[in-house]
Amino acid sequence: SIKQDALELLLLAIDLYPKDAALYESVGELYSKAGNKVKAIEFYKKALALDPNLENSKQMLEKFEQRP
């Protein structure tokens, strides 16, 4: 599927550019849209560890923490 292809490309890009916070955020978005909360949180946290100013990652983590 297109989402799977996008995920594979983003993970490859992370291997090449492991300090690019936006890549981690994008993977978090894909996992979020796929309903994989655990993996989404993992990648949003990695993104914020690299760039604490990523507003979307902050908002998504807050959203996930509010849901049971």
Q: Are 30 and 10 in contact (CB under 8 A)?
A: yes
- 2-66 fold: 1.25.40
What local confidence, expressed as pLDDT, does residue 11 receive? Answer: 97
CA distances from 35 to 14, 15, 24, 51, 53 (A): 21, 24, 17, 24, 24
Domain ranges of the chain: 2-66
pLDDT score, position 68: 63
Q: Output the pTM of the full model.
A: 0.92
Q: pLDDT band at residue 50, thresholds of 50, 70 and 90?
A: very high
Token pair recorded at residue 62: 């807050």
